């Protein structure tokens, strides 16, 4: 027992530290992403330097094979990662929450059918579904990648929404609302969404990280945003052949990717601890 | 670097490098371990085995009537002498005496007939089938004489026959076994990992300078490089990027040689569609391309600029880099003359593997300077084959063309790029029916100059052929034409 009382405050402290670290990591990427809208060190497509130059005052991270500034590419990579994360999570949320609520309210057979479909979809890795969606579309571009990831994520969101909504739906106050004549749109808006929102938003944060990594994987495989869009995955892929002579080209996008993914996860963990009432009570 | 210069000099002089220059002593019973990325799918070059089988077997296990040497010339191999009739439609070949297959059977005219028909047969998947389609009959008046009749003159017949393995007509299932006449016989084939050849002690010609050759196959270029670094192999047959050479260059334990490959990086336009049907537009794009910079980006200090589709190892090579040389101002002027003063926009179908995407980005950046907008569309190799090669549904594309002596594609208006110049069509046809090699060379050289002047395509650069070996190993081929890797002159000192 004494150990529990000893570790609890420490736990809480590390959690808030994690949250802070998450905010800082994600904040840096957001700041860089916003900065790219107004300022870049170089034109991203300009072949401003020599082949595979090392880091210097002119090129902080050196240049790639075509002599393009790597730091500029990395900055644009931040912007693309954020766009992909926000876009994919938004699409996933809209489709997923709608489907999940539909299943929760539906008759038994429709609910069963939807639940089975979602289970099948979730059985496939997110990346695989996204690859299928991209392959089915005519041309690969940033938006098709975002759409594909949104679709892939929506299954996970839908299943979570369905379970959470069902848990709320059996509550007495829902029965009370129903008997007092509230229609389902009102029940959803007033009772269900506010109740399940904290859990969903933590999940969205986790999915954000998933989407960023998945987009990098798609770009690495040549299925993401076409060149010259400087997605981290593409930078990584193009640097693969030169990893011995210019390792920064592979290390930089790797670090960027990991820092954003870890940042988002820390943020999600922290959010869960602040939002989730059961955890707060502990 | 001195070794490289020496080898280049030897190449330019068109002579085989005397191995003795580099190594005085060698072990005649050495085992040569060759690392390669190209594992053959089977052991039959007419059954879709891939380029790996040419690498391992051409000249080593199987021989042909003629041999394409590493310097690019065609020399008699199993043929003692041959003559063509006055009209060029009948060739009479006399076979060498004393040649036997590994099974012990002597080489006869019937084996030659069988071997040629194997390539031209219905079931054959040989890429050389079409070039032998002028053969109408093969007669074998006696055991040492083969008479081939043709439907049209074909000056390239000896060259085309250099691709035809002479196989024992009694051999069965040569997809998994072999029966050739070469200096080595197959001793072991472990699918998925290695192929071992051992010296044929009853070989009719000069004996190999080693006792055994083992081809070890890798699927990953990094693993292949590491194998050489850790002395698991002696030679790497082709290095895929200049950056992996950093580990070997300047290290006295290794020798890096650069030869001339036949692989050309090409920006191919669909010459049928506007604006690429306009020669001025094509010339403008050629002049707007800083090829020297591009080659440096991709290959560092390696590779060659050729200015046309013809590599230095083809007999009709001339240096055409001066035609439409890099000049942005004149490119703009030409575009304006062609009616595109403000440029235009096109889609560049780009295969998804290295180096094409990076080349595409380079071109995008270069052409933006003359107002031409390039939209990069990444496609797979399969898509390239169906969409571009078969359906010809594209504006422009990137492709590496690996074949030797393939300028003849420009004489075919139905080829995917749709280049149609009647003069070139006629020159290519006339070259094939030429009465002498000199005439053939003259006509194809002329065709070569015309396609360059027409900017039929944008020939970006010629890939280098880079072989890296342990310093104690010498005598290997440096150009690797037609993917061949003759092993019989390789020497290893202990």
Burial level of A173, CB count in 10 A (0-12/13-18/19+)? exposed
For chain A, give the percent of residues with pLDDT over 90: 35
Does the distance separating the beta carbons of B376 and A228 come in below 8 Å?
yes
- What is chain B's mean pLDDT, rounded? 90
**Measured between CB atoms, does A148 come within 8 Å of chain B?**
no
- What is the longest distance spanned by two Cα atoms in chain B? 72
Our CA angle for B43, B49, B52, nearest 5°, is 85
Condensed to tens digits (0 to 9), the pLDDT of residues A86-137 reads: 999 999 999 999 999 988 888 888 888 988 888 888 888 888 888 888 877 7
Domain residues of chain A, as ranges? 15-275
Per-residue confidence band for A276, with pLDDT thresholds at 50, 70 and 90:
low
Identify the pLDDT of residue A135. Answer: 77
Q: Is A194 in CB contact (< 8 Å) with chain B?
A: no
- Whether residues B378 and A246 touch (CB distance < 8 A) is answered with no
Task: Give the A:B interface size as CB pairs under 8 Å.
Answer: 59
CB contact (8 A) between residue A222 and residue B378: yes
Any CB–CB contact under 8 A between A235 and chain B? no
Geometric angle at alpha carbon B269, from B265 and B270, rounded to 5°: 135
What is the arithmetic mean of pLDDT over B223-231? Answer: 91
Determine the residue among B351, B361, B398 to mutate to test chain A binding: the one whose Cβ has the most chain A Cβ atoms within 10 Å.
Answer: B361
Query: To probe the interface with A, which of B248, B299, B302, B358 has the most A CB atoms within 10 Å?
Result: B358
Closest CA to A98 of A153, A151, A161, A149: A161
Q: Does B296 touch chain A (CB under 8 A)?
A: yes
C-alpha B259/C-alpha B279 separation (Å) is 33
Please tell me the distance from the alpha carbon of residue B478 to that of residue B469, in angstroms, as a whole number. 11
Structure confidence at residue B242 (pLDDT)? 83
Mean pLDDT score across all residues of chain A: 85
- Under DSSP, the state recorded for B242 is G
> Is residue A140 within 8 angstroms of chain B, CB to CB?
yes
| Sign of the four-CA dihedral A145, A150, A151, A153 | positive
Give B-chain residues touching A246 at CB under 8 angstroms.
Answer: 243
A277 class by beta-carbon count within 10 Å (0-12 exposed, 13-18 middle, 19+ buried): exposed
Distance separating alpha carbons of residues B426 and B418, to the nearest angstrom: 16
* CATH class held by domain A15-275: mainly alpha
| Crossing angle of helices A70-105 and A193-220, rounded to 10° | 140
Q: Which of residues 78-137 of A touch B (CB under 8 A)?
A: none
* Cβ pair B166, B64 in contact under 8 A: yes
- CB within 8 Å of B476: residues ≥ 6 apart: B235, B467, B469, B485, B486, B487, B489, B490
State whether A65 and B377 contact (CB < 8 Å).
no
pTM of the model: 0.81
**Terminal Cα-to-Cα distance of chain B (whole angstroms):** 23
B298–A67 C-beta distance less than 8 A: no
User: In the structure, what pLDDT confidence band is assigned to residue A211 with cuts at 50, 70 and 90?
Assistant: very high
Residue B10 above 80 pLDDT?
no
Inter-chain CB proximity B241 and A242 less than 8 Å: yes
């Amino acid at each position: 027992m004494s150990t529990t009382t000893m570790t609890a405050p420490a736990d809480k402290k590390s959690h808030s530290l994690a949250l802070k670290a998450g905010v800082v990591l994600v904040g840096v990427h957001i700041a860089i992403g916003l900065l790219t809208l107004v300022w870049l060190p170089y034109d991203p497509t300009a072949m401003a330097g020599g082949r595979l130059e090392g880091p210097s005052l002119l090129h902080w991270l050196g240049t790639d094979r075509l002599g393009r500034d790597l730091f500029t590419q990395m900055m644009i990579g931040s912007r693309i990662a954020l766009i992909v994360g926000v876009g994919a999570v938004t699409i996933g949320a809209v489709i997923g929450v709608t489907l999940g609520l539909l299943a929760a309210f539906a008759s038994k057979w429709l609910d069963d059918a939807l639940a089975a479909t979602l289970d099948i979809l979730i059985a496939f890795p997110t990346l695989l579904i996204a690859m299928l969606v991209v392959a089915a579309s005519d041309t690969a571009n940033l938006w098709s990648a975002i759409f594909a990831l949104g679709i892939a994520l929506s299954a996970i969101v839908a299943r979570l929404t369905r379970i959470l909504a069902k848990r709320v739906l059996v509550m007495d106050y829902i029965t009370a609302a129903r008997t007092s004549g509230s229609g389902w749109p009102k029940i959803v808006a007033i009772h269900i969404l506010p109740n399940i929102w904290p859990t969903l938003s933590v999940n969205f944060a986790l999915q954000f990280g998933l989407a960023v990594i998945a987009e990098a994987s798609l770009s690495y495989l040549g299925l993401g945003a076409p060149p010259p869009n400087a997605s981290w995955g593409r930078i990584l892929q193009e640097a693969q052949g030169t990893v011995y002579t210019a390792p920064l080209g592979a290390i930089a996008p790797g670090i960027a990717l990991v820092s954003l993914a870890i940042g988002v996860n820390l943020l999600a963990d922290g959010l869960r601890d602040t939002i989730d009432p059961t955890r707060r009570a502990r | 670097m001195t070794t490289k210069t020496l080898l280049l000099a030897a190449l330019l002089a068109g002579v085989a490098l005397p191995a003795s220059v580099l190594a005085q002593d060698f072990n005649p019973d050495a085992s040569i371990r060759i690392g390669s990325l190209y594992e053959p799918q089977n052991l039959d070059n007419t059954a879709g085995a891939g380029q790996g089988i040419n690498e391992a077997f051409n000249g080593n296990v199987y021989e042909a009537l003629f041999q394409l040497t590493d310097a690019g010339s065609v020399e008699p191999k199993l043929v003692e002498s041959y003559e063509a009739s006055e009209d060029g439609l009948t060739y009479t070949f006399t076979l060498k005496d004393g040649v036997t297959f590994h099974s012990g059977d002597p080489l006869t005219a019937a084996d030659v007939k069988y071997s040629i028909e194997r390539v031209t047969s219905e079931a054959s998947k040989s890429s050389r089938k079409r070039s032998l389609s002028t053969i109408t009959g093969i007669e074998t008046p006696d055991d040492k004489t083969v008479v081939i009749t043709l439907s049209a003159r074909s000056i390239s017949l000896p060259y085309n026959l250099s691709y035809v393995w002479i196989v024992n007509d009694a051999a069965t299932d040569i997809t998994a076994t072999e029966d050739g006449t070469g200096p080595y016989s197959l001793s072991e084939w472990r699918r998925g990992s290695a192929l071992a050849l051992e010296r044929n002690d009853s070989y009719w010609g000069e004996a190999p300078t080693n006792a055994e050759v083992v081809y070890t196959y890798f699927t990953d270029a990094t693993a292949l490089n590491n194998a050489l670094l850790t002395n698991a192999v002696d030679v790497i047959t082709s290095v895929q990027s200049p950056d992996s050479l950093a580990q070997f260059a300047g290290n006295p334990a290794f020798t890096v040689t650069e030869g001339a490959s036949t692989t050309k990086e090409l920006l191919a336009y669909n010459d049928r569609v506007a604006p690429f049907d306009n020669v001025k537009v094509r010339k403008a794009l050629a002049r707007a391309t800083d090829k020297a910079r591009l080659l440096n980006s991709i290959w560092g200090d390696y590779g060659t600029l050729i200015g046309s589709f013809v590599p230095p190892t083809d007999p009709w090579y001339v240096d055409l880099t001066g035609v439409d040389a890099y000049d942005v101002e004149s490119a703009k002027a030409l575009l304006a003359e062609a009616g595109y003063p403000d440029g235009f926009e096109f889609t560049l179908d780009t295969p998804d593997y290295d180096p094409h995407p990076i080349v595409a980005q380079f071109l995008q950046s270069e052409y933006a300077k003359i107002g031409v907008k390039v939209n990069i569309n990444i496609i797979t190799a399969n898509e390239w084959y169906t969409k571009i090669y078969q359906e010809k549904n594209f504006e422009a594309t990137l492709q590496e063309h690996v074949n030797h002596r393939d300028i003849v594609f420009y004489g075919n208006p139905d080829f995917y790029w749709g280049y149609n110049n009647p003069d070139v069509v006629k020159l290519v046809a006339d070259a094939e029916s030429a009465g002498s090699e000199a005439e053939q060379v003259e006509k194809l050289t002329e065709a070569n100059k015309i396609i360059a002047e027409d900017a039929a395509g944008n020939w970006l650069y010629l890939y280098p052929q880079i072989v890296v070996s342990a310093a104690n190993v010498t005598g290997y081929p440096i150009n690797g034409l037609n993917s061949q890797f003759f092993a019989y002159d390789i020497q290893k000192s202990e």
